[in-house]
Copies of this chain bind each other. A is one copy, B any other.
Amino acid sequence: MAELSAESGVPVATIKYYLREGLLPAGERTSPNQARYDEGHVRRLKLIRALVEVGGLSVATVREVVAAVDSDEPAYHVLGVAQRALTGFAADVPEDEREWAMETLSALARKHGWKFGPDNPVAPSLVGTMCTIRALGHEALLDQLGRYAEIADRIAEADLDTIDASVPMDRIVEAAVVGTVLGDRLFEGLRRLAQAAETARRYPDGR
């Protein structure tokens, strides 16, 4: 375990915690107080750390995600499970509010060729976010939904190109998880820098 810690850069106490929490599979026991860990363990440790520390996911969410990655289910099923775990839960909103948001979203989806079934976790989460924004009186954000949707189509093309390019089949689910979690963080950061620049352009007097 000391070697695993040195190799992965993760402290021993943290490794023990991940083992206890079922995020990391146990090593192969070679003696009462020794176990063998392999490249797979190092890789998994780096993934867990990235999802927790950079992605900001909870340990419980990471547990669900790695269980899905490790399962023998077909890739599209695993991706569904992972996406469900990664999607924020739906806010509790009044029925008529929900109806308005669902209609708005459905119209947008028709226009852009997006499909979502009743099982899709993204739609309820989006509906909750839209209702919350409206309840806070920031409708101006929702006025831009059409532009945001067009931009979403463009970024999804770039996202899919990252999968096409180089990922071997047996790592496609992991790549999709990393792409989703760290891809969100990456784009958030770029968006902040671009917002600051656009703010400076519009308000050069520093308002």
Contacts and interface: CB of A to CB of B under 8 A. Distances in A.
Given A122-B193, A156-B195, A162 B183 contact: no
> Interface size for chain A: under 10, 10 to 19, 20 to 34, or 35 or more residues?
35 or more
Interface stretch (A25-33, A65-73, A113-121): A113-121
Contact of A148 (B164, B186, B196, B200): B186
B126 A206 contact: no
A136 interface: yes
Nearest to A153: B194
Contact of A193 (B145, B152, B188): B152
A198 B92 CA distance: 30
B190 A166 contact: no
A50 B91 CA distance: 9
Contacts of A112: 193-194, 197
B197 A138 contact: no
Which secondary structure dominates chain A's binding surface?
helix
A30 B186 CA distance: 50
Given A129-B185, A144-B158, A186-B133, A138 B53 contact: no
Contacts of A180: 192
A189 B184 CA distance: 10
Contact of A187 (B76, B136, B152, B206): B152
Contacts of A114: 193-194, 196-197
Given A76-B206, A138-B162, A164-B202, 12 more contacts: A47-B136, A50-B135, A120-B196, A122-B193, A123-B193, A125-B189, A140-B165, A141-B183, A144-B162, A156-B194, A156-B197, A160-B195
Interface of A: 9, 46-47, 50, 53-54, 56, 75-76, 83, 87-88, 91-92, 109, 112-116, 120, 122-123, 125-126, 128-130, 132-133, 135-136, 138-141, 143-145, 147-149, 151-167, 175, 178-180, 182-200, 202, 206-207
